[in-house]
Amino acid sequence: MSGTKLSYQKEQAGNPAILLVSTNESLKMSLQKALLGMNYDLLTASNEGNAISLAASRKPAIVLVDRERHSWQPLRQHHAMQHIPMVTLQTTQSENEKDLCMGELDEGLDACWCDQTHRQIVAHIRSVLRRHLNSSSEPTAMKIGGLQMDIARHEVHV
């Protein structure tokens, strides 16, 4: 490949997106209000199918799942969500639910935030995204000579 220029580019288009999977309007409104002015886009999905569609098209930086109303496992299995930090939210935490959360962490969940205020949730989001967005070294675009590949979108341009 003598004389061929190989370059990697990280996609930096817009604000990081946070995907919330919930039908709880109060939770949606509270998070929207808490995130206001923080340079995050809050995407909301009312079911797992909508969440998968949004994840495929918008590539969120983190996925929050209302554990009381939705399951995170089908989301994690989809290829568009396998490498995105995934967190469940729950308003209460009994001893039985603590055990369930511990098991889910072993199954691939990244975190389970129970009985957190919206300010605490936002602080956790910032912490996770700070590590995740800064440590991601996987390129999303490649250029080899006149060939350009958008790896994230699975597109090739000549």
Domains, in order of start, for the chain: 14-137 (3.40.50.2300)
Gap between the terminal Cα atoms of the chain: 17
Higher model confidence: residue 152 or residue 145?
Answer: 145
Strand pairing class (147-150; 141-144): antiparallel
| Count of beta carbons in the 10 Å neighbourhood of residue 157 | 10
Tell me which of 24 and 147 has the higher pLDDT. 24
Neighbours of 45 (CB within 10 A): 22
The whole model's pTM is what? 0.72
> Which residue would you say has higher pLDDT here, 70 or 55?
55
Q: Give the C-alpha separation, 43 to 37, whole Å.
A: 15
Handedness of CA 43, 47, 53, 59 (dihedral sign): positive
- Greatest Cα pair distance, the chain, in angstroms, is 63
Residue predicted with more confidence, 11 or 91: 91
3-state helix, strand, coil in the chain (%, to 5): 40, 25, 35
Confidence (pLDDT) at 140: 66
Q: pLDDT band for position 52 (50/70/90)?
A: very high
Least confident of 9-23, 54-68, 113-127: 9-23
pLDDT of residue 62: 94
Residue 5, pLDDT score: 37
Sorting pLDDT into bands at 50, 70 and 90, what band is 13? Answer: low
